[in-house]
Amino acid sequence: MTCRVNGKRFDEEPDPGQCLRTFLRGLGHYGVKKGCDAGDCGACTVWLDGSPVHSCITPAFRADGRQVTTIEGLGSPGNLHPVQRQFRDAPGFQCGFCTAGMIMTSATFTEAQKADLPRALKGNLCRCTGYRAIEDAVNGVAGVAKAAPGKAVGTSVGAPAAEDVVTGRAEFTMDTHLDGMLHLKVLHSPHAHARIVSIDTSAALAVPGVHRVYTWEDVPHRRFSTAIHTDHLVDPDDTYLLDHTVRFVGQRVAVVLADSVGAAEEGCRRVVVEYEVLPAVFDPDEAMAEGAPQLHGPVDPFILDPVHNIVVEIHAHIGDIEAGFAEADVIHEGTYSSPRVQHAHLETHGSIAWMDNGRLNVRTSSQSPSIAKLKLARLFALRPDRLRVFCKRVGGGFGGKQEVISEDLVALATLDTGRPVSFEYTREEEFTSASPRHPMTLTVTLGATADGTLTALQVRNVSNTGAYGNHAGETLHAGGAAVMIYRCPHKKYDAFSVYTNTVPSGALRGYGMTQSAFAVESAMDELARALHLDPLELRRRNIVRPGDPLLALHEGPDDVVFTEDGLATCLDLVDEAMARSAEEPPPGPGWLVGAGVASSLHETAPPTEHLSEAWVTLGDDLVYEVAVGTVEFGEGTSTAHVQIAAHQLGTTPSRIRLVQSDTDRTGFDTGAFASAGLFVAGNAVLRAANAVRDRILECAAAATGEHVVMCSMDDDSVRCGDRRVPLAELVASARARGIRFTAARRAYGSPRSVTSNTQGFRIAVHPVTGEIRILYSVQATDAAVIINPAQVRGQVEGGVAQGIGFALTEHHQVDAHGVMANPNLRNYRIPTYADIPRTEVLLVHSADSVGPLRSKGIAECCINPVAPALANALHDATGVRCRTLPLTPERIYRRLGDSAAVATGPRSSMP
């Protein structure tokens, strides 16, 4: 076959059945991404003779005799195509994994298509941005600004990798090939619970190209947890690399290593496994009952009650809950359920391992290479200095990559064979074997006096951790923060994390708060209506205020700084915005219109120890190198770290070179999760930059005879009184004396501050079909000092978009046998451009932060109030209270059709 790719002729014969995506990547065009292999996401979009196609569903042979253009051929750094420039300047991306496909699609748009973006962009998905930034990019609306020396903080500077992202040159995990690379695939269990009686690998080993087949008998028998935390004791060690007992459909059974992906997949098909099928349990309440199948024996002392499948339980109270209910004039009780939800980051999990001079190297898509290194060293009994773990750019995470679930297998295979090994999840594997959000069922009981003063707040939380306990306890503790938001003398929290024969649950944006916020904020709305109070007013009367103890699970002291009333300001701003939007017309006659609000409070770092180390060095080229272990996957910490360093060093972002997420080149970093990438790592960068700045000023003062207080940084020089000393002179002088301008500093996740936010929606509901249309969306967020306004706005918009998916469309559906029924993007249904309204983002500038330069991380918390605000708006519009997510048209239609469910007025209990 002969074709021209980006103007260059190739005479290559594709493999039988090969798609154009893998063919082009085989030629080295890594800007063509894999997001689905089903034509659903558009990340693989290229042009055939100038027309955009999804290359994952286009046979490679169709390129014969044709011109193929990939993102690399559209433009290059320094010579951008106009649409690439627009995406850079908007900025129209966060993680950047979808960006090449977005640009290749939108660069062909006519004016008519630009006027109908819901239709024109229906084939391209983005999980990060919320689509507003993409719309701006397509329409040429710029949001990036340049910063003057020392003035980077508060300016919407562009991401350091922006030009590489928009030209397809930014390297993601799988964007490389090593000579002699082998490919790894996994055989997954078809049963929810079974004991492996025997495994016959002979037929698999006979497949041409297959080198190894690993079973539970071939791997180290060391228990571990896949969850990533600094303190490994918070997670039960209940997992093996491969096990002789499988506990969910999709669990690893065998691993095949071959010359090609196809050979490895064929090897998996030929492995013969004999199972003894065991009783399974899928409901956590049933799993806790007497006589339920037991998933784990006493494998770890941190598993609380293996007989009743309870990993962790929490029983905490403040005051006397019964006395609190006795004081109440009105008591409301309701049970609220949130489903299993997938991250759907467009880059699937993947890792590549190889040996170099006797050292194991692992290149991975992880939110914490430092902790991944520790786990691999323990699993394979490796000295830490014989192991390197690092990340390139990561294509989305949202907590899903706060696990070690691909790194261990490539390490196993490379240590065994000595050859490079690659393992990349399919989209189906993401749904069936990666870790989704915990399904939770919460019963909330509230008591209040007639004037709306809360007297009692009780929550019972049953969390389905799935087959293994990764993140079981930490999400349960995090959910307790939902009782922290309101001032109440009597509180009680009982919570259980329970094993079931379903895919293990894990970390997802909001981390236990999303589910509990849905329950508590829905219950508060119902209580307000029972009291005949405005729901916003009920919140105002009861929210915690500065000076109040932040009582969640105990009365003891904590490390949280809370000195300003950011939450009250958020409520006021949303109230005013909702009043301005009151005249938004419904889509047509017959639609029911309603409004709803909800709030959330979120700590800016996790309560367990979080550590980050940063190194700052002024080089001979007068560029400051900032080395920090935090990973960039769209949360914008790379840009923020550059801005913080530039601000403190009195220079511009262009003179900061960032080195990150590499255990050989950076210090330890717990990981980019729980907003700690800004809050903790940002403080480490700040301290290291300050230390280098102070050393430079001292040297300049000594050289000029001025007092150090008279010296200040001035881009590429230092001003000392009336003199201006070039940095080049100071570096040369210092070098001659053996002095280097370099410093390392650490920061810890304590003390912490609190981020608060309020979400408001105005919606229309069709009474016949149950369809919801969002007329207006607003979120106010206490962001404190804002490092980068465009990025803050983008994080809120992206969080709201994910929250809308969580509330309205997304549901990881499992059948009666534990099999996921919708393991693909098409049927799982994350929001598209057409589903997401523009969200008005209102920023509160408080000062009660101990973050870098008094900033706060806000990417985590912005999702929490979205679902309850939508549920409250639905009730306001229809009188129907839905306590189970998602709020699908079918579910709403059934509730609207149930005459007993339709409220004739405010009521405090619904069936």
Tell me: the pLDDT tens digits for 282-325? 999 999 999 999 999 877 666 788 889 999 999 999 999 999 99
Closest CA to 682 of 850, 560, 851: 851
What is the distance between the alpha carbons of residues 298 and 296, in angstroms, rounded to a whole number?
7
Question: Would strands 592-603 and 752-765 be described as parallel, antiparallel, or unpaired?
Answer: antiparallel
> Cis peptide leading into 59, omega within 30 of 0?
no
What is the distance between the alpha carbons of residues 604 and 814, in angstroms, rounded to a whole number?
34
Q: Which helix (H) or strand (E) holds 257?
A: strand 252-258
Using the structure block, give the residue that is written with the tokens 């106010």. Answer: 780
Do 149 and 53 form a contact (C-beta atoms < 8 A)? no
What is the distance between the alpha carbons of residues 608 and 561, in angstroms, rounded to a whole number?
16
Using the structure block, give the residue that is written with the tokens 């006589």. Answer: 291
Residue 481 pLDDT greater than 90, yes or no: no
Please list, in sequence order, all residues whose beta carbon lies within 8 angstroms of the beta carbon of residue 198, skipping any fewer than 6 positions away. Answer: 273, 274
**Reduced to 3 DSSP states, what percent helix, strand and coil does the chain have, rounded to the nearest 5?**
30, 25, 45
What is the distance between the alpha carbons of residues 606 and 228, in angstroms, rounded to a whole number?
12
What is the distance between the alpha carbons of residues 351 and 408, in angstroms, rounded to a whole number?
9
Q: Which helix (H) or strand (E) holds 273?
A: strand 272-277
Segment 222-238 mean pLDDT: 92
Going by the DSSP 8-state scheme, the letter that residue 224 receives in this structure is B
Do 853 and 859 form a contact (C-beta atoms < 8 A)? no
- 3-class SS at 223? coil
Segment 766-778 mean pLDDT: 96
Average pLDDT of every residue of the chain:
95
SS3 of 459-506: the string is EEEEEEEECCCCCHHHHHHHHHHHHCCECCCCEEEEEEEEECCCCCCE
Q: What is the dihedral of CA 569, 574, 575, 581, to 10 degrees?
A: 150
Lowest mean pLDDT among 56-65, 687-696, 889-898: 889-898
Please list, in sequence order, all residues whose beta carbon lies within 8 angstroms of the beta carbon of residue 902, skipping any fewer than 6 positions away. Answer: 878, 879, 880, 896
Residue 498 pLDDT greater than 80, yes or no: yes
Question: Would strands 45-48 and 67-69 be described as parallel, antiparallel, or unpaired?
Answer: antiparallel
Question: Would strands 560-561 and 717-720 be described as parallel, antiparallel, or unpaired?
Answer: unpaired
What is the distance between the alpha carbons of residues 248 and 813, in angstroms, rounded to a whole number?
14
pLDDT of residue 480: 82
What is the distance between the alpha carbons of residues 78 and 317, in angstroms, rounded to a whole number?
61
Closest CA to 399 of 454, 437, 432, 373: 437
pTM assigned to the model: 0.95
pLDDT of residue 581: 85
Q: Which helix (H) or strand (E) holds 421?
A: strand 421-424
Structure tokens at 582: 């009151």
- The amino acid occupying position 325 is F
pLDDT of residue 907: 33
Looking at per-residue pLDDT, the higher value among 554 and 141 belongs to 141
- The amino acid occupying position 349 is H
Going by the DSSP 8-state scheme, the letter that residue 366 receives in this structure is -
Using the structure block, give the residue that is written with the tokens 């290059």. Answer: 76
pLDDT of residue 773: 97
